[in-house]
Amino acid sequence: MSAVLRQIGREKLLLAGLLLLGCLALVGLLGPLVTDTSLAEIGTTRARLPPDAAHLLGTDTQGRDVLAALVAALPQTLKIGLLAGLLGLGVGGLLGLLAGYLRGLSDVVIRTTADVVMTIPAIAVLVLVATNVRTMTVGLMAVIVAGLAWMYPTRAIRAQTLSLRELTYIDMARLNGIGGLRLVMTELLPNLAPYFAASFVTAVSTAMLATVGLEALGLGPQNQLTLGMMLYWAQYYGAVLRGMWWWWLPPVAAIALIFIGLLAVSAGMDRLLNARTRQDG
Amino acid sequence: MLLEADSVEVAFGGGISGGARRLALRGVSLALPADQPTILAVVGESGSGKTTLTRLLLGLLCPTAGTVRYLGQDIARMDRAAHAAFRREVQAVFQDPFAAYNPFYPVDRILILPARQFGLVATRAAAYALAEASLVQVGLRPAETLGRYPHQLSGGQRQRLMVARALMLRPRVIVADEPVSMVDASLRATILQNLYGLTVDHRISLLYVTHDLATAYQVADRVAVMQNGVVVEEGDVEAVIRRPQHPYTQALVAAIPPPDPTVPWGVDDEAA
Amino acid sequence: MSAALRPAAEPPVLEVRDLDVAFETRRGRAHAVQGVSFTLHRGERLGLVGESGSGKTTTALALMRLLRPPGRILGGEAWLGELDLLAAKPAALRQARFARIALVPQGAMNSLNPVLTCGTQIEDLLQAHGVPAGGAATQTRIARLLDGVGLASEIARLYPHQLSGGMKQRVCIALAMALGPSVILADEPTSALDVIVQKQVLRTLIAAQKTLGAGMVLVGHDMGLMAQFAHTVGVMYAGTLVEVGPVRALFADPRHPYTRMLIASLPRFDRRRHFVGIPGMAPSLFNPPPGCPFHPRCPQATARCAAEIPQEQILPDGRRVRCHYAQEPALAA
């Protein structure tokens, strides 16, 4: 374990990404302690104020303090991404594991389903589902988005399982009398852990992208503030036309930072995985 | 018979997701007698089916025709108790000393797990004691081996560890699939000597699968030559090597370079 | 020093002096090749034999200047005629590679481009060295090259995956011969092949070498093979050349203990159940033992061996041995 941590420590890109995401999460968690999030409610301040000492990021046309809104919205967006990622990974990873390990008919069914679902234009489906839901919540968004993110972990985990199960140490385990679930849990899973981690990051990225897309179209949670919804309201009330840069720029910057962080983590993990396989060989 | 393959046939492919149907083994029959420990070498090149035969005899694969029997019982139809006994009494040493270890765990596991699994010991401490004794038998130092990860040991050490594991379980048969092909020449003799000596000391039968006729000659009592999934020649090792009957066997024998520059081999038309 | 194949007046095609190669890794410096020197004459076959970690492949790669970081050439000279391969500029190297010194790499079957036909790959090589493209003359030349390695001219139209392992290897040999180099380095050309095919490919290699009159260095780990292939054998251990000499003399009376034990460990067809191995393990290249690198495993090691690195001793038959006791013939085993 410590060897793994040391290896992670050597990957600067990975560390940078994790640090960035960590900071953002911290802002989301501890922010409410520093700023007054009640100011994120509609009508709590004077509207359309540019940034000044009292409102560091100004206020919007609905009377919200933008900084407070940002601090309130950040954890929500992160939560959706995390939930959707976990859900997508859980379902997708499990299916991938089954497909790769059992092979035969199960593999054909799972693989074909994943491939077919991947060809469906995600936005079209998301829009369809979102418009037919009465009240959209953060949780529901996560589920919808996960529904279209699970295929990638399935494919990645399936591919790895297929190659790992041919390795001699799996035969050794069978010769020891270990089979079935125990084999998968004790022999395959520990070696799949890095691939699960990498798939998780991909799933979270895919989920967040879909989420922000949906929200920007106005199909996000109406009653909870997320970064995407901030963008939607800003666009809806003509923030760009009105020159209210302090309204649309902060959420854009925050979203950009999240994706930069995810990208760095993903690229760093990729390097780490390749280094490990090179070392093992 | 101790362990036997009776007219086994193994076909690959031809299923839902597979390609063309291919026969890896065709009507192969081989046996290790039960009355006395024997060393049988199975010699063949790539594509001969020898690895498939190994997996078949270890119960890792089911034949598409024919039966594999252990002590007279069909291994595909054994009850739990008989199967457990089969698993303990038939052990394997594989070719690739690296892939045989799960890189996630330290190498101790390769000894401790089967020791506990097969009920050879009751406690972890007893398992370690048994493991250490086995390591010493193959010339490994427990202090330098236990607690390490596979990539921290050399190829030779890993291979010797596999042999230690096979011996620790006091099997009746060891199936060794190319146990020294990935090991340096200077180490081969030592590992083979170990394997041979210990199988003799503990009265274990050995199925030595290899492409190397020379080491097969060194180790075995009998040899079976395989080509394209069929056994083309089988018999006492001296007879087969000195007076090969089948043209393939003859080609195999002729393909071994005599380690003496004064003996012509037929690659240089003007002998050096 | 080689067997008296050619009169001493003829200059060697390749002369390597004190080649030194190291790998600089996080764990330290691994001295993979130390002070390796040998000469190669026209038509001579040198077998460089050693086990894993002996530095034989690194030597071949260094001579072709194909080493990648963290590998680094620390010193030495490799004279190919008037060109020092180790000091040459990239332009000169590119001209020399395959035209004057060619490599048949390890796993050569995997170094063929899978999306080009064999003929195209040979043609590419010829073009890169100034032979005009297309035309019947080129096709004839390719056909003749393939014929020289025992392949039908139809092979030129096939892709690598359509060929067997042995055939792919022969295509690689044809590539190495294409420009008529004076030196061919073959790095374990038959290790991945079945024994019967191995013999065929070796036969092809020898025939090719004779046609060209080139000098050949065969890098391998099989002493038995070297006995049948090489005129001169160089035994490498832990990065040093411990014994170099004419093959018959070396096999008849090996003077370095490692050579002796390596020959003794070969499985023979006259005695069964006679196992002679070399105890112990190869030394770490990061932290080599003091004195002679072989002394921890040597049955004849003395205190001098542990303290003093042996110098090269030159024997009357021209052999060079790095052992303090090389002058004494083998003690009864």
Distance from CA of B247 to the nearest CA of A (A): 34
- Domain range enclosing A230: 26-42+53-280
In a domain, B272, yes or no: no
Subunits in contact with chain B (3 or more CB pairs closer than 8 Å): A, C
Nearest-angstrom CA–CA distance, A268 and A9: 11
| Residue B103 near chain C (CB below 8 Å) | no
| Residue C52 near chain B (CB below 8 Å) | yes
Residues in A whose CB is inside 8 Å of some CB of B read 103-105, 107-108, 167-169, 171-178, 187, 190-191, 279-280
CA distances, C20 to each of C23, C31, C37, C55, C62 (Å): 11, 8, 10, 10, 9
Nearest-angstrom CA–CA distance, A7 and A5: 5
Which pLDDT tens digits describe chain C residue by residue (333 residues)? 344 454 556 888 999 999 999 998 877 888 899 999 999 999 999 999 998 888 898 999 999 888 888 888 998 999 998 888 888 888 888 888 888 999 988 776 678 888 899 888 988 888 888 877 778 888 888 888 888 888 888 888 999 888 888 888 889 999 998 888 999 999 988 887 888 888 888 888 898 888 888 999 999 988 989 999 999 999 999 999 999 999 999 999 999 999 999 998 888 888 888 888 888 777 888 888 888 899 888 888 888 888 888 888 898 888 999 988 888 776 544
**The predicted structure's pLDDT at residue C242:** 93
With a cut of 60, say whether residue A279 has pLDDT above it: no
Task: With CB atoms and an 8 Å threshold, state whether A172 touches B94.
Answer: yes
Tokens of A63: 């009377």
- Domain range enclosing B182: 3-254
Report whether the peptide linkage leading into residue C70 is cis, meaning its omega lies within 30 degrees of zero: yes
Question: pTM for this one?
Answer: 0.80
User: Total domain count for chain A?
Assistant: 1
- The closest CB to that of C275, out of B192, B237, B256, belongs to B192
Distance from CA of A270 to the nearest CA of B (A): 19
| Residue C251 near chain B (CB below 8 Å) | yes
Handedness of CA A246, A249, A255, A260 (dihedral sign): negative
User: Total domain count for chain B?
Assistant: 1
**If DSSP codes are grouped into helix, strand and coil, which group holds residue B10?**
strand
In a domain, B220, yes or no: yes
Name chain C contacts of B258, Cβ cutoff 8 Å.
224, 227-228
Cβ count within 10 A of residue B14: 11
Name chain B contacts of C225, Cβ cutoff 8 Å.
257
Q: Closest Cα partner for C41 from C11, C16, C63?
A: C11
Name chain C contacts of B266, Cβ cutoff 8 Å.
199, 203
Strands (E), chain B: 3-12, 22-32, 39-44, 65-70, 73-74, 90-93, 173-177, 205-210, 222-227, 230-236
Calculate the CA C228 to chain-centre distance.
15
- The closest CB to that of C272, out of B45, B155, B217, belongs to B217
Task: With CB atoms and an 8 Å threshold, state whether C228 touches B262.
Answer: no
Sheet of B39-44: strand order equals: B90-93, B173-177, B205-210, B39-44, B222-227, B230-236
Q: Are A231 and A248 in contact (CB under 8 A)?
A: yes
Name chain A contacts of B114, Cβ cutoff 8 Å.
176
Nearest-angstrom CA–CA distance, B145 and C261: 27
In a domain, A57, yes or no: yes
CA distances, C190 to each of A57, A171, B214, C73, C332 (Å): 72, 30, 17, 27, 35
**The predicted structure's pLDDT at residue A113:** 92
Nearest-angstrom CA–CA distance, B84 and B63: 20
- The closest CB to that of B60, out of A103, A174, A187, belongs to A174
In a domain, B263, yes or no: no
Question: Which of B39, B152, B184, B246 best probes binding to C when mutated, by most C CB atoms within 10 angstroms?
Answer: B184
- The closest CB to that of C229, out of B241, B255, B267, belongs to B267
Q: Is A218 exposed, middle or buried (0-12, 13-18, 19+ CB in 10 A)?
A: middle
Subunits in contact with chain C (3 or more CB pairs closer than 8 Å): B
**The predicted structure's pLDDT at residue C9:** 63
**If DSSP codes are grouped into helix, strand and coil, which group holds residue C120?**
helix
CATH code, domain carrying A89: 1.10.3720.10
In a domain, B221, yes or no: yes
With pLDDT > 70 as the criterion, what percentage of chain C qualifies? Answer: 95
Tokens of A176: 């020891």
Nearest-angstrom CA–CA distance, C158 and A28: 62
In a domain, A72, yes or no: yes
**How large is the angle between the packed helices A245-280 and A66-102, nearest 10 degrees?**
30
Considering only alpha carbons, which residue of chain A is nearest residue B110? Answer: A172
For residue C104, list its beta bridge partners.
C186
Cβ neighbors of C248 (< 8 A, separation 6 or more) are B261, B262, B272
Tokens of A67: 């900084």
Cβ count within 10 A of residue A281: 7
Considering only alpha carbons, which residue of chain B is nearest residue C54? Answer: B184
Nearest-angstrom CA–CA distance, A87 and C43: 69
In a domain, A186, yes or no: yes
Domain spans in chain C, listed from the N-terminal domain onward: 14-265+276-319
Considering only alpha carbons, which residue of chain B is nearest residue A4? Answer: B104
Nearest-angstrom CA–CA distance, B42 and B215: 11
Nearest-angstrom CA–CA distance, B183 and C329: 30
Distance from CA of A191 to the nearest CA of B (A): 6
Considering only alpha carbons, which residue of chain A is nearest residue B16? Answer: A104
Task: With CB atoms and an 8 Å threshold, state whether B16 touches A104.
Answer: yes
Q: Closest Cα partner for C285 from C20, C16, C18?
A: C20
CATH code, domain carrying B126: 3.40.50.300
In a domain, A7, yes or no: no
User: Which stretches in chain B have pLDDT values below 70?
Assistant: 14-18, 269-272
Report the b/e string of B235-269 with b at 16+ CB within 10 A: bebeebbeebeeebbeebbebbbebbbeeebebbe
**The predicted structure's pLDDT at residue C325:** 87
In a 13 Å sphere around the CA of C319, the CA atoms on its Cβ side amount to 28
Name chain B contacts of A107, Cβ cutoff 8 Å.
17
B170: left (phi over 0), alpha (psi -120 to 50) or beta: left
Name chain A contacts of B57, Cβ cutoff 8 Å.
none
Considering only alpha carbons, which residue of chain C is nearest residue B260? Answer: C227
Name chain A contacts of B117, Cβ cutoff 8 Å.
176-178
Distance from CA of A3 to the nearest CA of B (A): 11
- The closest CB to that of B267, out of C196, C228, C273, belongs to C228
In a domain, B260, yes or no: no
Subunits in contact with chain A (3 or more CB pairs closer than 8 Å): B
Nearest-angstrom CA–CA distance, B130 and C258: 35
Nearest-angstrom CA–CA distance, B150 and B106: 7
**A113 φ/ψ angles, rounded to the nearest 5 degrees:** -60, -50
Handedness of CA C251, B257, B185, A278 (dihedral sign): positive
Task: With CB atoms and an 8 Å threshold, state whether B219 touches C52.
Answer: no
**The predicted structure's pLDDT at residue A280:** 45
Nearest-angstrom CA–CA distance, A199 and A152: 7
CA distances, B225 to each of B44, B59, B231 (Å): 6, 22, 6
Question: Which of B186, B200, B225, B263 best probes binding to C when mutated, by most C CB atoms within 10 angstroms?
Answer: B186
Tokens of C211: 């046609």
Give the count of Cβ contacts less than 8 A between chain B and C: 119
CATH of domain C14-265+276-319: 3.40.50.300
Name chain B contacts of C251, Cβ cutoff 8 Å.
259-261
In a domain, A274, yes or no: yes
